[in-house]
Amino acid sequence: MIPLHEPRFSRDEVSLVSEAVASGWVSTGGALVGEFEHALAAKCGAGHAIAVCNGTAALHLAFLAAGVRPGDLVLAPSLTFIAAINGAVYCGAEPCFVDVDRATLGMCPAALEEFLSANADLDDAGQAILRETGRRIGACVIVHLMGHPADAAAIATTLRKYGIPLIEDGSESLGSLARGAPVGGHGLVHTLSFNGNKIVTTGGGGAALTDDEAVAKKLRHLSTQGKSDELYYRHDVVGYNYRMPNVNAALGLAQLAHIDQAVESKRKIADRYYETLVAAGIKTFVEQDWARSNYWLNVAFVQPDRRDSVIRGMRDAGIGVRPLFAANHEHPMYNDAPRGSLDTTVDLIARAVCLPSSPHLSEQEVSSIAAKLVALV
């Protein structure tokens, strides 16, 4: 089966990981974690990066650092991998779903503005409250889905009026630019994932990035068991064991050195899918003119009544396509969560097929995947 997204390793990965093992520093002590954090902060244009054990942990810490507390609501897209929703729920919050924008696949700035102006008030303390239930809106998380930048600038402008902190889930968008700047610079915290299927992998891993020094301290403190004194095992808050091990950072450092090349290859793959499919009348997702996407996964749109048979036919032919994520508001745990209209979310999921997009796919492989899709549509 041609996988959706497969990592590629060079000798650099093998030698850096071997060095880490040979040094004896395989766990969370060791110099490579700090080096990886510096390289990440530089790549993303962020003041601070804290490397952690996975992207979900990074999201959990981000919500904690933003002050999300039990009983809060967290504004979120329903169209995303469940990790961002779960991270908020780990803090005792409940999601409140806002629709996405066809143009970006990310949260729709107009839908957000409309939802807040129709449903939210500011209380005496300047906190945003959902009028109907009186519950505080503790944060908003947006996701740069499939690597495509959401319009974070417009979303941040709306959220500022309501005093709601923004978290950017950039798990899929490392290497993408919006209006010339690396994705992730509009939120209080920007999170990354380095799972095996992402553009940069550490095996398992993640990171939380921020420009705010106090927030960075809090993220780091919470990720290291809330330790206040190393020698005497003193702790001053309930923290988590979320730090990234040194072996994983070694892998990440070697991977990060090749990211620009990976983005270039993936953009070429996207062009090839577009050319072949558009000629056959099949739409693919194309970036906005202000965006430069890493095209983590390419998406084609088919008729809703053809989606499942296309997916089955492709997989039978050894091509590992998948649908988009299932809508989070349809999961049993989040069935009753408050929401605005989710029409675009439901429509996109009904029509989307995600296509194999590994950076090392050859032109011939991309053409034959596209040809098979055309034959099945």
Ligand X SMILES: *Cc1c(COP(=O)(O)O)cnc(C)c1O
Segment interacting with ligand X, rule: CB under 6 A, options 24-32, 54-62, 216-224, 331-339: 54-62
Distance of closest approach, residue 87 Cβ to ligand X, in angstroms: 8
Q: Is 195 in the site for ligand X (CB under 6 A)?
A: yes
Distance of closest approach, residue 144 Cβ to ligand X, in angstroms: 8
Q: State which of positions 134-153 bind ligand X (CB under 6 A).
A: 143
Q: Looking at beta carbons only, is 56 or 298 nearer to ligand X? A: 56
Q: Is 172 in the site for ligand X (CB under 6 A)?
A: yes
Which residue in the block uniquely carries the two structure tokens 């408050």?
338
Segment interacting with ligand X, rule: CB under 6 A, options 23-31, 164-172, 341-349, 350-358: 164-172
Q: Is 77 in the site for ligand X (CB under 6 A)?
A: no
Torsion of CA 242, 220, 82, 130, to 10 degrees: 140
Is 200 strand, coil or helix?
Answer: coil
Q: Which two tokens stand for residue 342?
A: 């989710």
Number of residues that bind ligand X (CB under 6 A): 14
Distance of closest approach, residue 248 Cβ to ligand X, in angstroms: 11
> What DSSP letter does each residue of 208-220 carry, written as one string?
EEES-HHHHHHHH
CA-to-CA distance for 236 and 6, rounded, in angstroms? 41
Q: Is 56 in the site for ligand X (CB under 6 A)?
A: yes
Distance of closest approach, residue 81 Cβ to ligand X, in angstroms: 4
Please give the C-alpha separations between residue 223 and each of 79, 104, 117, 119, 219, in angstroms, as whole numbers: 28, 32, 36, 35, 6
Distance of closest approach, residue 80 Cβ to ligand X, in angstroms: 5
> What DSSP letter does each residue of 221-264 carry, written as one string?
HHHBTTEEETTTTEESS---B-BPPHHHHHHHHHHHTTHHHHHH
Q: Are 45 and 275 in contact (CB under 8 A)?
A: no
Is 61 strand, coil or helix?
Answer: helix
- The one among 83, 85, 262, 314 contacting ligand X by CB under 6 A: 83
Residue with the closest Cβ to ligand X? Answer: 55
Q: What are phi and psi of 128, to 5 degrees?
A: -80, 130
Q: Is 55 in the site for ligand X (CB under 6 A)?
A: yes
In terms of residues, how long is the chain?
Answer: 377
Q: Looking at beta carbons only, is 296 or 301 nearer to ligand X? A: 296
Q: Looking at beta carbons only, is 56 or 223 nearer to ligand X? A: 56
Q: Is 84 in the site for ligand X (CB under 6 A)?
A: yes
- The one among 81, 295, 301, 334 contacting ligand X by CB under 6 A: 81
Segment interacting with ligand X, rule: CB under 6 A, options 17-25, 50-58, 127-135, 176-184: 50-58
Q: What are phi and psi of 60, to 5 degrees?
A: -55, -50
Chain residues binding ligand X by CB under 6 A are 54-56, 80-81, 83-84, 143, 169, 171-172, 193, 195, 206
